[in-house]
Structure 1
Amino acid sequence: MLERIREGSQGVWAMGILGLVILSFMFAGVGSYINSSGATVAANVNGEEITLDELEKAYQNERARMEQQYGDAFATLTSDAGYLQNFRKGILDRLIGEKLMDQAADNLGLRVSDEQIKKAIVSMNEFQIDGKFDNDRYLAILRQAGYQPSTFRDYMRVDMVRRQLSQSLIGSEFALLNEAQFAHMIQQQTRDLRYVTVPASKFNDKVEVSEEQISTYYQANISQFDTEEKVSLAYVELTLEDLMSDVVVTEQELSDYYQQNINDYRTSEERQASHILFESSEDDDSVLALAESVLAKVEDGGDFAELAKEYSSDTFSAENGGDLGWFGKGIMDPAFEEAAFELNAAGDVSSVVKSSFGYHIIKLTDVKPEEVTAFEDVKDEVTTKVKTSKAEEEFYALQLRIAEVAFEMPDSLEEVAAVANKSIQTTDLFTRVAPPQVVANPKVVASAFSDELIAEGVNSEVLELGTNHIMVVRVASHEEERTKALDEVNQQIKSTLLAEGAQQAARDWILDVKTQLANNEDITAKLDSMELSWEDKTAVTRNEAGVSRSIIEATFKLAENKTEVVDLITGDVSLVQLMKVNEGEAADSMQITSIQTQLASLKTQNLYSAVIESLRAEADIEILQ
């Protein structure tokens, strides 16, 4: 049989069919590639994309910042799927605003030169040691943050251009003296009031809810009773840290690693030098002649520091006698660096050197020779690196084996757990927009709600969640999206209608009291009939802690002796009457200055928001995710 198949596959027709099959795969592959590209885009702003990776990175960064700042309070908020959805939408809106501002800056022709970026980087405290830029520290911090020098420069360029535009907005706003004085007067104002609160519960027995009302409410608000699709996951998770504790290293391995990587523990030679700069962008005989004459003065015993103060175009270093501080190779202009490192001993002075900045006279003031840190001093560091390397090898081998058993035995995670030497964990049911933190990764969520895992009940492929961090998941249980039936929410709707009816009855009762009060009628008996009485408050501020927020807001909108009916968040109703307005004390000059600053900042924020809204109104924005 196999022989016949082999013979048949050699014919012209067979080759033609094979060609069609290959073409179909080619076009299917190209089509899937084209169709899948859009899935990586969150939004399109005037033809420029905001990718899902950008959105996810910004979302995770902001979520981490909020969790660090607010702790359990934020965790409580994120348990609400609606809040998380709005939170994510806010992040995307911010990215769209930033993209619009970048485009506006480009249209205005705002630019930042390479030299400006270089100066900004050199002046950043994060990259300095003892007040001086340190190239090794700069590169180490970039590696730690996941940047290459080129990508960090691009980031700095975008950030500095944005700041150019934002500074132009900030610089145009100010607050007048009388604005600050008026704002202070309003802020310091207090009010005397009285209020009476009618508990809605007093009218519970007067409210009836029929089945027809419940049905009508259900039909009118049916979207409120839609459930989201939910899954719970079983998963096996493996990280490099899970393997580190079992890794054993020998002294020979540590010694070999140290010798093979000796350059990592070598401190390059550094030099301290002073210079006198004669600035010139091109070859200039007159500038060169001046430099040669000053060099002659130095060689004749002239004070280098004094000559630098007198002649150097580099005014910053000239104030310190031309001192440039310590620097290693790769920092200075190449021509300058070559000349500085050719000097042999402290006190040696170069000839006139031409660089891209002009002509220099360089004096070597000190040398830090190359040093190699002893093995014993870095043994702990070497041990960690060797253990990490061995653990990474084991991790990679386990990852391959886990991928095999997850595919070969798709109906269970038992074999995966056995290979990883980890237990199977499970989650509660969750929606797509509110996954538990342990599985709150886009790859995990996408896999969890995929048709393959839900319909076929198989294991996922190995999901790489980060460096040396993997997970295999399967759907443990699944709830489809649906609309709850009326009988499921009957009691919930009835409770809502009873509460609304009781509050409306309380409101109607207190409105009658308000009318009598406006007609100068005595309402004491009416209040007594409900066992109610006025509660007096004096000198209430806008931020009073002991009074309902709704009552305070109503109070500061009223004129003296006027009343207002207020619905409270508790479901009760209050009648509020303003008795007196108390003016605050006048502000001193420091307070006024502070208020002016705050008002200017508020105006700036409003202006920035207005600019963004204006740009949005004119932009072509397509939100894809």
Structure 2
Amino acid sequence: MIAWTQKYIINKWFFLILLTVVIVAFVLTITPAGSGLTQTGEDIRKRDFFGINLASRKDVGPVIASATASAWINTGERGFIESSSGDLLLGRVAYLHYAHKLGLPPPSKVELERYIRSKRIFLGEDGFFSKQAYDDFKQLIDDDPAITQELMMQALLEDFQIDKISSALVGPGFALPFETQKQVEHSKTVWSIDVATLKYEPFQPKVEIDEEKLSSYYKSNLARFEESAKVKVSLIKFDYDRYAGTAQPTADELREFYEEHKDQFKELRSSSEAGSEPDPEPLTFESVKDSVTKVMVEERARRLAEEAAHAFILKLYERKISRDSKQQITGLLEDAGITPIELPAYTRSNPPEDTDLPRRSLEEAFALSNTRYYSDVIETNNAAAVLLLRSIEEARIPSFNEIYAKVEAEYRAKEKKKLFAEIGLKLKTRLEAALAEGNPFRKSAEAVGLEVETFNDFTRRNPPSELDRRLFIQNSHLGKGQISPMVILDKDGKFVHILGKEIPEEESSLSELADQEEILQRINLYYQTTNLIAEIVAREQQKSEE
């Protein structure tokens, strides 16, 4: 299982022929305002935060990349918690600063394998490490030009050190005996509840609309109606395959290349034989000649394509060809035998998905201008590419009359949600009054048009599969006979009525108490760590702003 990680650590040569894009897809869209992390490149004033310049994209970019990769590895989801990502990113910098300061060693191979096996992305449906999930993930990052093995390994190694420094800074968690006892009792309490649902979609209240209300709503929410800037670019691709024919090495060059990288070809043969009987014959040049030729041709073709792309840019610069000189640009492309691909207009947050260009490169097209209308050379899986600016539409806020229908639709939706919440308050009062008069909850709820489900005799440990756990967790503090306020879940309104709540009278076993104590210790440790690192981050941020 650890062959991939060993291969990374020991044999970096193979990664030179893989794509080395630093920022994973969607990275630059997650930096929140107010975090201090720049979104606009080099800002005016340097802001030092544990050796990282928060005003420098060069410094901040790799932090965002590894944090995003870490989030994916630890949650199994390719995304990020936008509302708190600024704190998480700054906390990551602080953790790694102290790990470096204390000289924490990297994990051993055994520790690293154990650590990898614990990560959410590598777990199967049963909650245990899955070789299939691990192999699928490896294949995914091999196929995706926006991700590299180098980046994912960096994230894993950093996470390992962050976990270690977290334990060192805070120490063990704690749990008071009475808290442990209460949690055990709570987990063993037997519940019976009614869940009454008020459907949102059929709710069609009358919403009073007039010009003045809509105009006021529009003026108060101008940012909601802003149309993002759009860019149009042409994609110029120098395909690697076009240069393969001129990249053929001589026999002497092949043998020299083989001798320099013999160990890597030995490992390449071993990986190709995985799951089959190993070849008993010793490794020789002839036995891997085809592989040597393939690798060398691919590497040379890539280099030739990149050189051709750089040469194209250099001609634009040296000949002072302006963006309006369409004929001269077309002539250069015809000489190179390349037909430009016109990408559709896109916003920074919604770049085209039907291209193998890294998202960061597509976003950086917004930095192009009339004077610098061509991008740097971009590496992809099959080509060296250059983007040429066609046009940029600046961000704008359409006039009220221009988007009248959109403003009206949003206002109606907002008013509907408001009236729906008001109906919920009235229904709760009505249901409580009916219950006080001795009327059954189900009968009263159905009489006002609510749909009722009953769930009998379950515990928090084993809730019914049909019961939304979020609903139960929010209302588990209620006592028998009480009704919850209306909770919105997936648009619909939910009321919970506690039919029964039986707290066990028998004493808890030592093993139950021990298990619950461990859980509480982990929870308390999490909050201790979070509070400590937040304080450290706040102090360092204050220094950086002085």
Taking structure 2 as the reference length, the TM-score comes to 0.63
Q: Paired residue for 1:445?
A: 363
The one-letter code of the counterpart of 2:293 is T
Shift of 1:400: 4.0
**How far apart are the structure 2 equivalents of 1:159 and 1:44?**
23
Q: Which 5+ residue runs of structure 2 have no aligned equivalent?
A: 1-39, 114-147, 265-281
Aligned AA for 1:59? I
Distance 2:182 2:455 in 1: 25
1:249 partner amino acid: Q
Please report how far the alpha carbon of residue 258 of structure 1 lies from its aligned counterpart in structure 2 after TM superposition: 1.0
Q: Counterparts of 2:189 and 2:481 in 1: how far apart (Å)?
A: 17
Deviation at 1:397, TM superposition (A): 4.3
Does structure 1 residue 425 correspond to structure 2 residue 341?
yes
Pick the aligned partner of 1:96 from 77, 90, 94. 90
**1:537 paired to 2:493:** no
For the structure 1 residues 209 and 541, does the alpha-carbon distance in structure 2 shift closer, same or farther, using more than 3 Å as the test?
A: farther
For the residue of structure 1 that corresponds to 2:374, the secondary structure is coil
Partner of 2:57: 52
Instruction: Note closer, same or farther for the CA distance 1:554–1:470 as it changes in structure 2 (3 Å cut).
Output: same
Distance 2:202 2:539 in 1: 55
Give the Å deviation of 1:533.
5.9
How far apart in 2 are the matches of 1:70 and 1:121?
Answer: 24
Q: Hey, what does 1:257 align to over in structure 2? A: 254
Cα distance between partner residues in 2 of 1:246 and 1:40: 48
Please list, as runs of the form range in 1=range in 2, the aligned pairs for 1:174-573 lying within 5 A after superposition.
174-175=174-175, 179-200=179-200, 204-238=204-238, 240=240, 242-243=241-242, 246=245, 249=248, 253-259=250-256, 262=259, 264-265=261-262, 374-388=284-298, 390-392=300-302, 394-404=304-314, 406-407=316-317, 408=321, 410-411=323-324, 412=326, 414-415=330-331, 418=334, 421=337, 423-436=339-352, 438-446=356-364, 448-450=365-367, 452-453=369-370, 459-465=373-379, 470-487=384-401, 488=403, 489-500=406-417, 502-504=419-421, 506-507=423-424, 509-517=426-434, 519-520=436-437, 522=439, 530-532=448-450, 534-539=452-457, 542=460, 544-548=464-468, 551-573=471-493
Q: After TM superposition, give the deviation of residue 566 of structure 1 in Å.
A: 0.6
CA contact (8 A) 1:191 1:538 kept: yes
Residue 199 of structure 1 deviates from its aligned partner by: 3.6
Distance change (3 Å), C-alpha of 1:45 and 1:265: closer
Q: Which amino acid aligns with 1:424?
A: P
Deviation at 1:57, TM superposition (A): 2.7
Structure with more strand by fraction: 1
**Gap runs ≥5 in structure 1:** 1-35, 127-143, 268-371
- State the number of aligned residues: 437
Cα distance, 1:608–1:482 mapped onto 2, change above 3 Å = same
Question: Equivalent residue of 1:605, what SS?
Answer: helix
1:602 to 513, 523, 528: 523
Classify the secondary structure of the residue corresponding to 2:172.
Answer: coil
SS in 1 for 2:235: strand
Q: Measure how far apart 1:510 and its partner are.
A: 0.9
How far, CA to CA, are the matches of 2:292 and 2:410 in structure 1?
Answer: 66
Is the alpha carbon distance of 1:521 and 1:546 closer, same or farther for their aligned partners in structure 2, counting shifts above 3 Å? same
User: Would the alpha carbon gap of residues 580 and 472 (structure 1) be closer, same or farther in structure 2, given more than 3 Å must change?
Assistant: same
Q: Decide whether the 8 Å contact of 2:348 with 2:366 is kept in 1.
A: yes
Instruction: Encode CA deviations 1:344-390: one digit per residue, 9 max, x unaligned.
Output: xxxxxxxxxxxxxxxxxxxxxxxxxxxx9532123124313441454
Say which SS state the counterpart of residue 209 (structure 1) adopts: coil
Following TM superposition, by how much is the alpha carbon of 1:577 offset from its aligned partner in structure 2, in angstroms?
A: 1.8
Moved more, 405-414 or 555-564: 405-414
In structure 2, relative to structure 1, the CA distance for the partners of 1:440 and 1:383 (3 Å cut) is closer
* 1:257-277 Cα distance to aligned partner (Å, 9 max, x none): 31576454499xxxxxxxxxx
Give the Cα separation in 2 of the matches to 1:380 and 1:566: 69
Question: 1:551: Cα distance to partner?
Answer: 3.9
Q: Which moved more, 1:225-234 or 1:192-201?
A: 192-201
* TM-score, length of structure 1 as denominator length: 0.56
**Shift of the alpha carbon at 1:234?**
2.3
1:137-176 matches, cutoff 5 A: 165-169=165-169, 171-175=171-175
Decide whether aligned partners of structure 1 residues 591 and 419 sit closer, same or farther in structure 2, where only a CA change above 3 A counts: farther
| Greater C-alpha Rg | 1
Shift of the 259–180 alpha-carbon distance from structure 1 to 2, 3 Å rule, reads same
Task: Tell me how far apart the structure 1 counterparts of residues 111 and 246 of structure 2 sit (CA, whole Å).
Answer: 40
Contact 2:194/2:452 (<8 A) preserved: yes
Shift of 1:568: 2.1
- Return the offset for 1:503: 0.9
Task: Call closer, same or farther: CA 1:567–1:217 in 2, change over 3 Å.
Answer: farther
